Amino acid sequence: MVLDGFITPEKSLAISVCFAVLGSAAGIYLNFILRGNVILLIGIVALFFVYSYNGFPIKLVNKGLGEAAIFLAWGPLMVLGSYYVQTESIDSCWPLIVALPSGIMTTLVVFINEFADRDADFSVGRKTWVIIFGYRKSLYLYLFLAVSCYMIVLAGVLFIGWPVWSVLAVITGPLPFIVFKMGLRNLENWEAFLPAVKATVLMNFLFLVILSISFLV
């Protein structure tokens, strides 16, 4: 959005700082009313990723680690934090397993957007997965990661005791294959590639909403 002129860098920074402050305030409050400093620790690590993703001097995205940072922030950190707020304990690896699909699905949204941004990212020294692996290998990696989310859900229901309703997340299963085929047909035709981005956002939203609701009912 900055590159296309929809928003200035200054406004983008101001909005980012605003949300970081609001999120930090919520985290500090939760840490105050809960035992220990687990939420504080998670918040500090999260802020590290928020800044270091593209911030000096680390710039994780310039080292091929940007996607890993997104996965950790939107997977293990977010789910473990939510789990601790509700239980005030982390006594097993179960929350980490549940966190995997959340982290992967959100990473895929970032990943699919990197295709059209490849040249712009390359020009400023970024090393996204699309730059590292190339268009075609990246599409195969995208498909593998997406399918792994469905495998995790099925394994969770069959072997770990996840709610049987979690299986309903599989109804979004055709979407990664649609994105894969659409991507292969429209590499470097970014206007025609855009529906693949929208389909990924839809997949991420529906999959995680269904999975979350299944644990509530």
pLDDT digits over 99-142, tens only? 999 999 999 999 999 999 999 999 999 999 999 999 999 999 99
Provide the pLDDT confidence category of residue 64 given band limits of 50, 70 and 90.
very high
Distance of CA 8 to the CA centre of its chain: 25
- Alpha-carbon span 5 to 141, nearest angstrom: 31
- Alpha-carbon span 37 to 48, nearest angstrom: 17
* pTM beyond cutoff 0.85: yes
157-167 average pLDDT score = 93
Burial class (CB in 10 A: 0-12, 13-18, 19+), 191: exposed
pLDDT surpasses 80 at 11: yes
Q: What are phi and psi for residue 203, nearest 5 degrees?
A: -60, -45
- Alpha-carbon span 165 to 155, nearest angstrom: 13
pLDDT surpasses 90 at 154: yes
What type of residue is 132?
Answer: I
CB atoms within 10 A of CB 119: 9
**pLDDT at res. 50:** 86
- Alpha-carbon span 132 to 141, nearest angstrom: 12
Contact criterion met (CB below 8 Å) for 92 and 56: no
Provide the pLDDT confidence category of residue 42 given band limits of 50, 70 and 90.
very high
pLDDT surpasses 90 at 188: no
**pLDDT at res. 6:** 86
